[in-house]
């Protein structure tokens, strides 16, 4: 069975500082990995994905994530945080085929950027 772990329920960072939101996964075969963000009273918005190719993936709003196969991680990063980045972030994983066709979401990390 595939799974996703977001080990931190809450991450606080000062505006202008770099931010990291952690994600580790478990899946059979090569993973498809996604990050989504949810602002209050809104649905999830797609940020970026890793399917294949370059391990460093760049996405919306200046976010990027690095796929690390040996550590089974896909951490979300941004060089300089903005107060407007405060939101709930979800990591998700799927396997490429068979019974792992569903997207499995983590439980989310609440990011708060302090002014």
Partner 1 sequence: ETGVTQTPRHLVMGMTNKKSLKCEQHLGHNAMYWYKQSAKKPLELMFVYNFKEQTENNSVPSRFSPECPNSSHLFLHLHTLQPEDSALYLCASSQERRVDYEQYFGPGTRLTVT
Summarize as ranges the residues that interact with partner 1 (CB under 8 A).
Answer: 4, 9, 32, 34, 36, 41-46, 49, 51, 90, 94-96, 100-108
Least gap, CB of 68 to partner 1 (angstroms)? 19
Question: In the complex with partner 1, which residue's Cβ is closer, 19 or 37?
Answer: 37
Q: DSSP per residue over 88-115, as a string?
A: EEEEEEE-SSGGGGS-EE---EEEEEE-
User: 51 or 83: whose CB is closer to partner 1?
Assistant: 51
Which tokens go with 32? 């498809």
Residues with Cβ < 8 Å from 106, sequence gap 6 or more?
A: 4, 5, 6, 23, 90, 91, 92
Least CB distance to partner 1 at residue 18 (A): 25
């Amino acid at each position: 069975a595939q799974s996703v772990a977001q080990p931190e329920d809450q991450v606080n960072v000062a505006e202008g500082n770099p931010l990291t939101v952690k994600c580790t996964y478990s899946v059979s075969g090569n993973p498809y990995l996604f990050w989504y963000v949810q602002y209050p009273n809104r649905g999830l918005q797609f940020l970026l994905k890793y399917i294949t190719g370059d391990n460093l993936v760049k996405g919306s709003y200046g976010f990027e994530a690095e796929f690390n196969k040996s550590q089974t991680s896909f951490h979300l990063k941004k060089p300089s945080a903005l107060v407007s980045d405060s939101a709930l972030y979800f990591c998700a994983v799927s396997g490429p085929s068979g019974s792992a066709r569903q997207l499995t979401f983590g439980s989310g990390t609440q990011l708060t950027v302090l002014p």
